[in-house]
Structure formats: C-alpha cells, structure tokens
Structure 1
Amino acid sequence: MSKFLFSLFICFTFSLAAYSFQDSTSVQYDDAPLYVKKITKEDLQKYKEDSKYDYTLEKADNSWWENLKTWAYSYLLRFFQWIFGGTKAVGFLAAFLQFIPYILLAFLIFILIMLFLKTNMRGINLAKKNLSNVTLSEEEHIIKNEDIQQLIKNALEDKNYRLAVRYYYLYILKIMSEKELIDWQLQKTNDDYQKELSQSKYATPFVTITRLYDYIWYGDFTIDESKYNKAAEEFIKLQNSITKS
C-alpha cells in the first residue's frame, strides 16, 4: 500500500513539473473586428481653435541691445573673415568676438561721460573766470578812480565792517603802488605783492593784513565793530609807515 502511494506521489510531482515547463510565450490573437473612427473637418476645426493645442512658437521682437550686438558682431565677423580669409573663429578669438559688443558699449558710455564732464567743467571754469573778471575790474576801478577813504567811511557808517576791511586793503595797495613799493597790475595776486615786498621792511606787516583780509573778506566772516577796530589797527600802522617813508 505504501509503495502504491509513493508511486502515485512521484507521478503527480512529475506531471506538475511537466506542466510548468510548457511554453509560456504563446500569443493569443484577438479576432474581434476593428472599428475605424473617422475625423471630420468640424472635429479638426474644433482642435485648431482650442488654444491648448496651439504649438506655434512666437518669435519675440529683438531689443535695441540685441540689435546693436547683432550689428556689431556681423561687421566684426566680416572684418575678421576678411583678415583670415573666411576662416571660422575658434577658441579665444571666438570668445573675444562675443565680448566685442560689450566692450564697444562700455567705450561709448565712457566717451559720453567724458564729454559730459568736460562740458560741465568748461562751463564752471567760464563762470569762475567771468566772476573773477568782474571782481578784478571792480577793484581796478576802485583803485584808479574812487576816493577809497570815503568808501571806508561810508561802509563804517553802514556798519558794514567786512566791506570796510576790503576797502582798506585796496587802499594799502594803492598807496604802495604810488610809492612804487609794488607794481600793481590787474592780473597779479596778493602772493605776487608779498614776493615784491619780501626784501623790504613792509613784508611782515603786509603779510599780516593780507591774512586778515583773506580771512574776513574771502572767508565770508562776519565781524562787529570791536573786531574791526582790532583789524584796523594793523592797517593803520602799515599805512602810517608807508606815508612817512
């Protein structure tokens, strides 16, 4: 009985193994009839009008910068092709050509800035020159034609002590010129007069009043009567020394 059962088990096992080794790649064919769906013109028009199915690529208009780069690059490319006989640029030359538009733009901006600064500086210098000419012409008129002592008196009456200091300084220049201690000229500066007096006894007092004049007049320094009197002492001492010589 046991042998029979064992034999039956062996047969069943081999039958399963044989079934498992059957060809698993067999193809099953579908014999169902095919149905062809027709697409009408109306169907196509519907898809054409649907924006979801619009795959047209719109080319954006180039900016002025893109047009400038294209223009510059094309002309430079022609130039280098003319030099190298139509050889295509590679390596460093190709990279250099790509940066040429940026270099040209930077150079153009630099030129415009320089022209702008030069124009402004010319205008500023012209304004300064005109102002200087007006001031010097006024000083020349005062020294040659005006009664400076009366101008000093009028300024003191108006309590315009700063203007009085200016007139007093011009008066010192006038009497020095009359005494031929200096050669007064319209284009000369106070430093020029200091050099002319450097070997005389008036050098130190003239430097003193020049500093006072520059500080009060050009420094736009407001002074009262007491401060004016202290400054006037230096002018009076130099005036007396000149007139007594």
Structure 2
Amino acid sequence: MNKKQFLHIVFLIFGLIFSTETISAKSITTLEIVLVEHDSLQIDTTNGKKRFFENLKTIYTSEDFVYDRTVESSGWWTRFKEWLNELFKDFFQMKGEKEASVFTDIAIKLGAVIIILLVIFFIFKAVMNSEGKWVFGKGSDKSIIPVSDIEANIHAVDFKTLIASAEAEQNYRLAIRYYYLWLLKGLTTSEIIEYDVEKTNSDYQNEITSIDLKENFSYTSYLYNYIWYGEFDVNEQEFTKAKNAFIQFIKSIEA
C-alpha cells in the first residue's frame, strides 16, 4: 500500500466517525424535543387579583374564635374548678396539679350527692305535714292521731286545762284537737267505742250503734279533719262554732 492510499483510508475512517456523532446528536436533540412536547405539567399564566380584608381582628373576637384557652377566657365552671384546685393545693400543701385535680373531682361529686339528698329531704318534708300525713290524703280513713303521751293516756289527761291554755294562746287548731280527744275519751268511758290510737274515724263510726250519736260523730269528725289535718287558719268565730258542737256532743254522752 502506497502513501496515497493510506491517506484515503484515514480520511474515510474520520468521516465515518464524524457522521456517526452528528446523527447521535440529532437523535438526542429530537428525543429532548419530543419529551418536552409531551410533558403534562401545566403552568397557570393568568394574573390573579389580590384581595384585602379589613378589621379582621374586630370581626373574629367572639368565643367561637378563641382557640388558646386561658383561665380568664374559660367558662365559669372551668374557672371554679381551677379555683378549687388552687384552694385544695394550698390548704393541703399538695405538690402536683394532678393530685389537686383528683381531690377537686372527688369533692365536687360528694357535694353533688349531698345537694341531691338535701333536695329529696326538703321535697319529702314539704309533701308530709307535721303529723306524718300526706297533704293530699287527709281522708277520714287516716289514723286519727299518732302515738304520743297524750293520745296514749287520754283517761289520765285533764283536757279542760289543756283547752284553756290553747285558747289563751289563740291556738284554735290545737284546742279543737283536744276537744276531739276529749270526745273519744267520753265515748270510751261510756263504752260506746273502744279507743285505740291506730283506729280511724271510720272504725269508730262503725262501732257506734245509735243513729243520733253516729250522725253527731260524723259531723264532729268532719270539723276535726277540716281544722286539724286541713291546717287551715281558724278565726275565733269559726272556732266558737266548732267548739259548741263538741261541747254539746260531750255533754250528751255524759248525761
């Protein structure tokens, strides 16, 4: 091979290498263009308008927009519990907030139980009268009187003295009660009834055989129930009328 042929071969090889690099560069450029053309990213180029809000601090000042709670901004119940916590913590010299909080919860629950019991007690007391009778059940079938020293020993009691003392104090209800017990004493002494503190008006009335005595007892029992168990304020005129009815009945029995 001469020198001229060798040069031709060298130029041919360089030409092929150059052509290959050019084709590769074009292919890469084309690939990049294709990738860019098929990119899914979208860019919003519209011009947005800025909005301005005035007086936001004055508008959103209600309780619904308070997110950071403090003792001052909390409700009255939370403030009350915080006050109790501090009170118990200082009084019992507690070291931790958790211990004081547990003690406060126990104290509140005990206080609630005590209040409920007191409410039940006062309701029960309001419903019951001083004699232990239901205010809505003052019928004549109730026990006439509860057991006490006077009722249990009516034969040893001086009712005239008791009545005079009650009238002097203008305690007409109590005087009528004594008159009724005095009447029962007379009926028992005359063997018309058999006295028992547990008997009712109906029991005594059923024991009376005389029609006249039965009618008189029914009327005086009505006066007694109305004045004593009814707890009505009786004036002097009403008391005198009821008193005369009892006195006449008692005298008719003793005659």
Shorter-chain TM-score range: 0.3 to 0.5
The answer to which structure has the higher helix fraction is 1
TM-score (norm: length of structure 2): 0.44
